[in-house]
Amino acid sequence: MSTTVTSCVLVGVDPEPVRVEASLSGGRTQFHIVGLPDTAMREARERVRAALKSSGFQFPDGRVVVSLSPADLPKSGAMYDLAIALAIVHATEGLGSQVGSFVLMGELSLRGHVERTGGAMVAASVAERLGATAVVPAGAQMPVACDTEVVGVETLRDAVEVVRGMSQGTPVVVASMEGAPSGDLCEVAGQSRSRRALELAAAGGHHLLMVGPPGAGKSMLASRLPTILPPLSKEQQKEVALVAAAARLPDPRDASPPYRAPHHSISVPALVGGGSGIPTPGELTKAHLGVLFLDELGEFPPVVLDALRQPMESGSVLVSRQAASIRFPARVQVVAASNPCPCGYLGDRKHGCTCPQHRRERYRERLSGPMLDRFDLRIKVERLGPLELMDGRGESSASVRERVVRARAVQAARGILNCDLTGPQLRGLEVVESVNAVLRSDPRLGAITARGWDRLRRVARTIADLAGEELVDDVHVKEALELRDDV
């Protein structure tokens, strides 16, 4: 006799259903789990056996085989305990035909309690697709509301009663918001040009590179970027929550875009994803739909920086290992800060550079030309003196965010963010003769690449959107060119 219940698994960051089938037969007492389980899942045999007995259910005599399908997809973790236990109860006592309308997820203790774990969003997403009800540990919180019922159970017996229709379980509520990102742009004194570049980056989703001496405010500016970004939509919040589940991060507590700032000693697998078995998300994916801040860019190994080049263009990263090849989403806004040289004072007005020429060149060579070309905005940040810092507070994040939201609304009406516009799309949004006049007259455009030209025009489109202009003209292109320094 065999019976089937439904659980869930993440393939990369995509939730998929898993069929948990239990088969009972005579013979010597044995308990096998098949379907590429990892060590934690193989140990489920003892957890499930003890939980069934503690909950008043009889563990069947003879041979018990539990199969998790798709069988060629590796399964990991203890989240299948509840589904395995209910499949066995269904095979021995029966749970009714309605068992197929539930998606089960949870780890069992030896006493039969369903332990509180993360990943409720995974079960809810699969249930939403199947038109089913998700059964998860009681006390779990949903970071985003789903269009399906999600109920919590405290024990294995509670779960059996819910599936049999004898109990409604505990409703799982959406987690309460814990407030906006900390900090405010008004805390940044002066730096009007840098603040303008930050606003443009937020409005159009552009990559930004800031180069300047220590203490100029580069890191402070970058940390304020999340405070002027618009909140994530409901669908985007679901994507971020699934990424958090795949990376075993805490569930997001608000609608703010993710912000990740890895140390410069990070390895390539830690940045793009990897691992010895099934690939897991790296920092690029953890920052999906948010900001990836690379501080001290000149200290990152060149091989790490070059690994960013393709994801910055495509918005995804394919990680291939012997066990599997997984494509992870990586639609991130890269913001980087760097000193101009190892000592940090090259070109500074008050401190002379002490670096030998060969050290400057070696430091500069860490950032390759193709990598540098992928930054839409490149600015030099000047260090301010005490009197300039005391001139007063700048504009608040709230007022800047209002302009950013308006500009994003214009782009939403077009159906595409400015940072993703293609050449033909850009040509339809420009005063062609006016833009061509800049192309013919400005000598700085002679050294720009085809990729750089498109990125320059995208920034110009964002400038026009912030100004409420329908078409891009020479004024917008010239300002975009002014914000593309030779760093």
Per-residue pLDDT tens over the stretch 71-94: 888 888 888 999 999 999 999 988
Residue 201 has pLDDT above 70, yes or no: yes
- Greater confidence (141 vs 195) lies with 195
Q: Give the pLDDT confidence score for residue 429 in this predicted structure.
A: 87
Q: Flag the least confident range among 138-142, 288-292, 399-403.
A: 138-142
Domain with CATH 3.30.230.10 in the chain: 2-171
Coil, helix or strand for 274? strand
| Percent share of the chain, pLDDT over 70 | 96
Identity of residue 185: L
Q: Give the pLDDT confidence score for residue 47 in this predicted structure.
A: 93
pLDDT digits (tens, 9 = 90+) for 323-382: 678 899 999 999 999 999 998 888 887 788 889 998 988 888 888 888 999 999 999 998
| Percent share of the chain, pLDDT over 90 | 55
Residue 183 has pLDDT above 90, yes or no: no
What region does 39 belong to: left with phi over 0, alpha with psi -120 to 50, or beta? alpha
Per-residue confidence band for 320, with pLDDT thresholds at 50, 70 and 90: confident
Coil, helix or strand for 152? strand
In which residue are the tokens 């410069």 written?
264
Q: How far is CA 441 from CA 285, 417, 437, 446, 478, in A?
A: 42, 29, 6, 10, 11
Q: Give the pLDDT confidence score for residue 269 in this predicted structure.
A: 92
Residue 179 has pLDDT above 60, yes or no: no
Question: Measured between alpha carbons, how far is 17 from 3 in angstroms, rounded to an integer?
Answer: 16
Q: Give the pLDDT confidence score for residue 155 in this predicted structure.
A: 95
- Residue 46's Cβ-count burial label (10 Å; 0-12, 13-18, 19+) is exposed
Residue pair 264/292 in contact by the 8 Å Cβ criterion: no
Mean pLDDT score, 147-170: 92
Q: CATH fold of 2-171, please? A: Ribosomal Protein S5; domain 2 (3.30.230)
pLDDT digits (tens, 9 = 90+) for 102-156: 999 999 999 999 998 777 899 999 999 999 999 999 988 788 888 899 999 999 9
pLDDT digits (tens, 9 = 90+) for 455-485: 999 999 999 999 999 999 989 999 999 999 8
Coil, helix or strand for 337? strand
Chain Cα centroid distance, residue 172:
24
- Residue 208's Cβ-count burial label (10 Å; 0-12, 13-18, 19+) is buried
Question: Measured between alpha carbons, how far is 191 from 189 in angstroms, rounded to an integer?
Answer: 6
Question: Measured between alpha carbons, how far is 288 from 236 in angstroms, rounded to an integer?
Answer: 9
Q: Give the pLDDT confidence score for residue 390 in this predicted structure.
A: 65
Residue pair 221/196 in contact by the 8 Å Cβ criterion: no
Residue 1 has pLDDT above 60, yes or no: no
Residue pair 329/13 in contact by the 8 Å Cβ criterion: yes
Cis-peptide, bond into residue 60, ω within 30° of zero: no
Q: Give the pLDDT confidence score for residue 254 in this predicted structure.
A: 80
Residue pair 448/372 in contact by the 8 Å Cβ criterion: no
Q: Give the pLDDT confidence score for residue 258 in this predicted structure.
A: 94
Q: How far apart are the first and last CA of the chain?
A: 71
Domain 185-392 listed as CATH 3.40.47.10: no
Question: Measured between alpha carbons, how far is 171 from 109 in angstroms, rounded to an integer?
Answer: 22
Q: Give the pLDDT confidence score for residue 178 in this predicted structure.
A: 54
Q: Give the pLDDT confidence score for residue 459 in this predicted structure.
A: 96
Q: Give the pLDDT confidence score for residue 280 in this predicted structure.
A: 87
What region does 468 belong to: left with phi over 0, alpha with psi -120 to 50, or beta? left
Residue 180 has pLDDT above 80, yes or no: no
Q: Is beta strand 208-211 parallel, antiparallel or unpaired with respect to 333-338?
A: parallel
Q: Give the pLDDT confidence score for residue 461 in this predicted structure.
A: 95
Residue 239 has pLDDT above 80, yes or no: yes
Q: Give the pLDDT confidence score for residue 407 in this predicted structure.
A: 96
Residue pair 191/384 in contact by the 8 Å Cβ criterion: yes
- Greater confidence (427 vs 157) lies with 157
| Helices (H), ranges, 55-191 | 81-92, 120-130, 156-163
Q: Give the pLDDT confidence score for residue 387 in this predicted structure.
A: 64
Q: Give the pLDDT confidence score for residue 204 in this predicted structure.
A: 96
Question: Measured between alpha carbons, how far is 332 from 301 in angstroms, rounded to an integer?
Answer: 20
Q: Give the pLDDT confidence score for residue 352 in this predicted structure.
A: 83
Residue pair 238/246 in contact by the 8 Å Cβ criterion: no
pLDDT digits (tens, 9 = 90+) for 386-397: 666 666 567 889
Domain with CATH 3.40.50.300 in the chain: 185-392
> Can you give the pTM of this predicted structure?
0.90
Structure tokens at 487: 């760093």
Q: Flag the least confident range among 171-180, 210-219, 267-276, 363-372.
A: 171-180
